[in-house]
Amino acid sequence: MLNSFEVKRDTFTISTDPSRLDLDAICGFLARAYWASDRPRDRIERSLANSLAFGLYDGTKQIGLARVVTDYATFAWLCDVFIDEAYRGRDLGKWLMDSVLSHPDLQGLRRWLLATRDAQLLYSQFGFEPLKNPERWMQKYNG
């Protein structure tokens, strides 16, 4: 798989280079996120090591994240989408989404999934829609 995906805009870079990920910054993001505020650091580290993480950087400072759990063939789960509060409302979230969905190794998948409390109108701009047959879906939720 490619490990060199990178796009630039002004002072900003989106990169999937794992060596650029700033674990302290990411733990800070997730501590402030409603879905992961109690996720331990070692779980975060393991999750990053085993998925395709897109870091968003202003210069060298990490200011955003999106994480994709995928088999690179049929399916991808998009999660941990976060933009630093100081950088919100500047189209960076949309650029991050666009970059994730245009990654060359994530083309032709049968299905993308995500869960969101209130950002439906962000994701619907990129083709996501509510489950058509939610009764066919099940989950085993461990909190």
Ligand X SMILES: CC(C)(COP(=O)(O)OP(=O)(O)OC[C@H]1O[C@@H](n2cnc3c(N)ncnc32)[C@H](O)[C@@H]1OP(=O)(O)O)[C@@H](O)C(=O)NCCC(=O)NCCS
116 binds ligand X (CB under 6 A): yes
Q: How far is the CB of 87 from ligand X (least distance, A)?
A: 6
Which residue in 92, 99, 100, 112 binds ligand X (CB under 6 A)? 92
Which residue in 19, 42, 104, 121 binds ligand X (CB under 6 A)? 121
57 binds ligand X (CB under 6 A): no
H helices of the chain, in order, are 23-31, 41-49, 92-102, 120-123
Q: Which stretch binds ligand X (CB under 6 A): 5-13, 44-52, 79-87, 131-139?
A: 79-87
CA angle 61, 63, 67 (to 5 degrees): 120
The dihedral region occupied by 108, where left means phi > 0, alpha psi between -120 and 50, and beta the remainder, is left
Phi, psi of 92 (to 5 degrees): -70, -35
- Return residues touching ligand X (CB under 6 A): 33, 81-83, 88-94, 116, 118-119, 121-122
